[in-house]
Amino acid sequence: MDVVKLKPAVKDYIWGGNKLFKWGKFSSKPVIAESWELSFHPDGLSLIDGGNYDGLPLKEVASKEDLGNRINDFPFFPLLVKLIDAKENLSIQVHPSDDYALKNEGSFGKTEMWYVLEAEENAGLYVGFKKDENINDVEKSLKDGTLLEKLNFFKVKKGDMYFIEAGTIHAIGKGVTLIEIQQSSNLTYRLYDYDRVDKNGHKRELHIDKALNVINLKKYNPIIFSNNVLAECKYFISSLGDSSMKELRAFADSFITFTVIEGEGKVNDIDCKKGDTFFIPANKKAEFKGVFSFIYSRI
């Protein structure tokens, strides 16, 4: 297959807003919380937008050769790329490691990275504990409502990045729009959800016992990568790029996916603008015209 533009699956979770409409996303619902840009996950498949395969799930069209040699190292397709708009705070949560998740849930765990696209004044992210904790104190804080006091709250601005390994307690705060690049998993253990109720008047399920089984109690130390690399782990490597590169070439080991975060132009004569996501099959290349920047990832 050739380079294709993707059409995302959108989610209307209770904490979502309307900023992703400005990023070119569409929904019949009044809010878009998440836009699953590149997804092979059954909870929300991304589709091909235009061309010979218009409307078909990328998962059904892309061959093993299109995905590249490294796909053989993983039991499942390893990557999921999302745009997220948090009008309200997300739940305080933690994701398990692969070992725990595969044993107990039949799923990948979840390591992820966040790159901030927009942030309202004083908006921020909860990431990790301020200091080393013990499980008894964390349980006590859940009972007396003081868990947030134990967490780092980082005020953020456009361009900030946080790498969040499995086991790290975290949450996106209200007023933040970001791109999340993660393992292909929809597995979340909620510790605290502000006593909110859903559209049916029910509190969302918490998973305190499971979360406490997998949580990293050590003080959080931010991980910073060098050059244009935003994040690198066994599941993906993500970097910043722009159209001055003239082209982006995928080699035999992996496909590349990229999401435009500023500007507009053309990708192999396909129009592109802020919010558009593309898939470059292994051994293929995307040629750029115009002025735009993007975040690109491969496995």
Active site residues: 190
* Cα–Cα dist 269/287, whole Å: 8
Q: What is the CA radius of gyration of the chain?
A: 19
- Scanning 26-163, the segments in alpha helix (DSSP H) are 58-61, 64-67, 98-104, 135-144
Q: Is there a contact between 216 and 222 (Cβ–Cβ < 8 Å)? A: no
Both structure tokens of 219: 């003080």
**Share in percent of the chain as helix, strand, coil (round to 5):** 15, 40, 45
C-alpha dist (Å) from residue 195 to 102, 125, 176, 216, 288:
30, 19, 21, 24, 48
Q: Is there a contact between 167 and 214 (Cβ–Cβ < 8 Å)? A: yes
**Strand 161-164 versus strand 112-119 pairing type:** antiparallel
* Cα–Cα dist 111/181, whole Å: 9
Q: Is there a contact between 6 and 285 (Cβ–Cβ < 8 Å)? A: no
Q: Is there a contact between 79 and 257 (Cβ–Cβ < 8 Å)? A: yes
Q: Is there a contact between 219 and 129 (Cβ–Cβ < 8 Å)? A: yes
